Amino acid sequence: MEETGISKPKVVVIGAGSLFFGRQSIWQMVQSQYLNQGTLALVDTDEERLSKMVTLAKMVAKENGVPLQVEGSTNRREVLQGADFVVLSFAKDSVKYRGIDCEVSLQYGIRMCSGDTIGPGGIFRAMRELPVIMECAKDIEEICPDAWVINYINPSTVHGIALSRYAPKLKSFALCDSHHMPHKKAHYAIRAGIIQHPSEFTEEIDRRFDLRIAGVNHFTWLLKAEYDGKDVMALIAEALRRSAGTENDGGDKGAKALHNDAITYELYDIFGSIPTCTAHTKEYVRYWQGLGKTEDAIPPLSIWETEDRYKRHEEMWRQVDDFISGPIPVADYMKIMGPDHATDIIESMVGNLGKRFFINTLNNGAVTNMNDDAFLELLSEVSLSDGIKPLPVGDMPRGIRGMQELVLDTHELTAEAVVERSFTKLRRAFMTDPLVNSIHDADLIIKELLEREKDIIPSYWYE
């Protein structure tokens, strides 16, 4: 094993009951030779779920014969001491409140298929999550100020901006799972006809395939795609156009999955660049809000499916229970589960592996015609010694850049409103948001969401 600056890394996961991260973090912490000598500390306010995840982590570590230490606590302060990395991945009753956000917004003509990053849903999710994130930041500053803080909670940009601006002494960045490398590059290599299957993606193909992706999280665009110097953007777009006709036949019928290839191609046809996170991007633009006077070939966005999400989560917890109680052998855990973005990055940093990852961070010149402090998702070099260094992208095309700036303004105003507890800025964020069409409607949405989410929104908003 290559010598690193951290021989026994301690990774604290705040929100271990997060089914979309907690289980994968166990996999990587056990699998990686750079991490499995260290400690995985799991934190969750739900004692029952925390107990299950701690039990599962210990079982998997024992089954695979690694000395990984597993800790658990409902009080984060008890396990932060000595942390090298702190991953924030919590979201209290997220399915419930996203459902409320989407239901109320729809009454005023705003359609959200995800409701967690833009529109009233994104703003109110930040109202719920960001105060807790900033409390975590204070504890980290006090107990383990040298730890890397990784935000894995949407709206990722809002929370990343808040940490960089209001906790500047901390080493922080934000993540999303949609641009996990090298899988994202392999995906486009298949679309371009360079390879037929992800297993064919090699370091040699990686080197010859010049891919440039940039933008605000969930609103990212493929700006350049060249293989051996030949532009393959049109080949990728054509593959999307061909698949658009059958993409929803028998596949995922969830709101975030519907018509994505068709929408991707239509946006490419207009702007000349390919949106790379269409499941969310289609919510950032106003074209599929159903407000047109004539019928579009692509129907308006379907709404976030609360009940289906509850069922999906129940299935995931059932799988956890099956690992613990025996219906699924714990020996199969490493075959069934897989790596996670955050722990992939942690492994690369600890092992000094030199891998590149898409990180939400300050632009610092990567996109040449956007401000250095623009908080963007960018392919970056990541290391313990040099931190996060975004790689050059070039210009953001006109039209796309204007939409990016509007979204960034909405996100920045949201971060300021929540941290500064400013109703004026909350209202301003709403009126800046690209999905809001009426001042009066927006005011009514704010009023109704504050009332219906009173049990989770901090009390000072009601004083």
Residue numbering of the annotated binding site for substrate: 98, 154
* Contact indicator for 172, 164 with CB cutoff of 8 Å: yes
Q: Map tokens 């599929």 to a residue.
A: 288
Name the DSSP letter for residue 363: -
Which residues are annotated binding-site positions? Answer: 98, 154, 176, 218
* Contact indicator for 413, 429 with CB cutoff of 8 Å: yes
Between CA 25 and CA 342 the distance in angstroms is: 8
Q: Which residues, in sequence order, are CB contacts of 192 under 8 Å at separation 6+? A: 225, 227, 232, 235, 236, 239
Collapsing DSSP states into helix, strand and coil, what is residue 224? strand
Spatial CA neighbour of 261 closest among 281, 245, 249: 245
Number of neighbouring beta carbons within 10 Å of residue 103: 17
Cα torsion 217, 264, 111, 247: sign: negative
Number of neighbouring beta carbons within 10 Å of residue 235: 17
Between CA 174 and CA 162 the distance in angstroms is: 11
Spatial CA neighbour of 128 closest among 459, 461, 390, 458: 458
* Contact indicator for 456, 132 with CB cutoff of 8 Å: no
Which residues in 217-353 belong to E strands, given as ranges? 219-227, 230-231, 274-275
Q: Count the helices and strands in the chain (H runs, E runs).
A: 16, 13
Number of neighbouring beta carbons within 10 Å of residue 397: 15
* Contact indicator for 277, 264 with CB cutoff of 8 Å: no
Which residues are annotated binding-site positions for Mn(2+)? Answer: 176, 218
* Contact indicator for 336, 328 with CB cutoff of 8 Å: yes
- DSSP per residue over 78-92, as a string? GT-TT-SEEEE---T
Name the burial class of residue 59, with classes exposed (0-12), middle (13-18) and buried (19+) by CB atoms within 10 angstroms of its CB.
Answer: middle
Name the burial class of residue 110, with classes exposed (0-12), middle (13-18) and buried (19+) by CB atoms within 10 angstroms of its CB.
Answer: buried
Between CA 380 and CA 389 the distance in angstroms is: 5
